[in-house]
Structure formats: C-alpha cells, structure tokens
Structure 1
Amino acid sequence: MSEPRLFWLERDVDTSGVSGTGRVADGVLWADGTVSLRWRGATPSSAHFDNLSAIEGVHGHGGSTRVVWADDQPAPAPARPRRPSAVPDDHPLDGLGDLALALGGAPDSWTGDALLLIARSDAPHRRELSTGIAWLVTAYLLWQSFTTTAGETESPRAGRFLATLDAFPGELV
C-alpha cells in the first residue's frame, strides 16, 4: 500500500453500552500499516495502533463492529509489524527471550510477555490470541517448528528465521 486509506468503524451492537451503534469512529490506515482512530460521540478521543488487526481484536467485539472502507476497496492483507531485530543474523534463538529480541522487542517487554502467554496456551487459546496478535502467534509457531524439526542439532539463527517469517505467505493459526 502506498497511500493512506480512510475507513470508519460501524457498530451493529453496542456490547459495552458506551459508544452506541452506527458509525462510531473514523480512521486512517497509514502507508506503513499503522492506524489512527478518532472516536465520535460526546467525549471524542484518539488512539493509535500498530496495525488494523489490533483494532479489530480490541474493538471488533466478535463481529459486532466492523471496518468499512471509504473507498469501497477490499481490505489490504494485514501487514506483519516488525521492528528492527535487536540481535545479529547469526544469533541463535535458544528461547523465548531470544525470539523476543529477534522480533524487535525484549524479554521483559510486551513482546516477551505475549510470547510467554502464547507458549503457555493450548491450541484453542492460541486461536483466540490470534484475533489480536496473529503475527506474533505465527512467529511463535514458526519458531517452534524450527526448534522441533527432526535432525536440527542447534537453534535456528535469527537471520534465517526472520527471512522465513517475512516470506511466509499466511498465518499458522
């Protein structure tokens, strides 16, 4: 995507009793995949998100609220947010802390905490987590597949893992 896109949130059912129904917020999907959102109503406020999936995960309420594009074009494929890796390409990904660093986070950051939550979750709970952080669930499952591949004698290296993640066509959930 090269140009920002305008959208709004259309709410059919107000599950919280706060926002009402109809067009409840206006937004912009920026060229880098980040999103700005402005709530309508008596007390308008603004929020910024790393990606559109985060908005849908937090404010979608199981389909009660949906994104409507102002230009009537279909939604773009969700971008995988990624900050620069905090480790060199040859760094072994021996555990969740290393994985958090490779994904641009830190072991004691939100990324590290989310990876720990994903690791401790069973498959049904991972599917639930994927509604808001699908890219991170996919990264964890791909890393797990690297570390459990038959014949793999050492941990995958950050560069190889990130190249595979960037080229991966979809979600693993």
Structure 2
Amino acid sequence: MTVEERQLGFQVVLLHMQQHAAQLPGNWPQAIAHFLKVTQSYGPHLFFCYQVPDLPRTNNDLEQAFGQVRFHERRATGRKGALPGLVVHGAVRVQAALASRLQIFTAQQLVPHDVQVWRDLRAQVSFRQESRCKQSRFRRDPATYLADLEAKLIKESLRS
C-alpha cells in the first residue's frame, strides 16, 4: 500500500467520523470534534514513517530507539545517568548512533556535501554547548557569574 493510499484511507475514516459524530450519545460529538481538530494540525506529519525508510513507526518504537542510544552511551562512558553531551550534541549524536546501526559508512560517505549546511549545524551545536557551559558556571558560583556578566555589560555600555 502506498503512502497516498494510506492517507486517502485515513481521510475517508475522518470524514466518516465527522459525518456521524452528531448521532452519537453523550460527550462523543465533542470528543470527535477535538480529535478531528488535533488530527488536522498533525495530519501532514502522520505518514512520515511510510515515506522515510527505517523510521520507527510508533512512538514506542521511537522511544525504544532513543533508549538504546542512551543505554549504549551509558555503557561506553560508565555513567549511570544520561550524558549532558547527548543533550548538547543530540541532533548530531543520536542521528549518527541510529544511522550507524543500519549500515557501516565509508569515509567518502561521511564527507559533508554542503559545507555551509555543515557549518550552520556546527554553529548550532557550539551555541548549545556554550549555553550549557554558562548554566554550569552559574550553578557553580552564581555571584561570580553575575559579577562577570555585570562587568561585561558596563564595559559594553561605556563603549557606546
């Protein structure tokens, strides 16, 4: 069954629900109206699992995939909890961990095809990492962190 056939079948079911909702007793009409509203907002994204090969089909499958990544990260590092780096570098590390289970990549396949996209991704990861470092410094010594921040702001205001 193609993606288009699945989407069409789903639309038929939704239309059938909409047409017969008023005939149902109790709170069913309101529940169906809410379901149709939510489904309309999520509708375009419901069938990605059929368009992208090897994408987990359900939330449980997706959660299991993320759990496997966390499990292997903990095993590799010896830490009990989730790694802070997995949060900072998650967009890169989780994708790399999941993709490397499906196939072994050659050096040629790992070369970035679009250098600007790669640089943008590196900038995002660096920004998140810097943000985590600032949070850590603040938690370690809030008074010193705020004093440094205040000094920088005063210095900036004196320049202009």
TM-score (norm 1): 0.30
Answer 1 or 2: which has greater strand percent: 1
Structure ranking higher on relative contact order (CA contacts 8 Å, 6+ apart) = 1
Structure ID, larger Rg: 2
Answer 1 or 2: which has greater helix percent: 2
TM-score (norm 2): 0.32
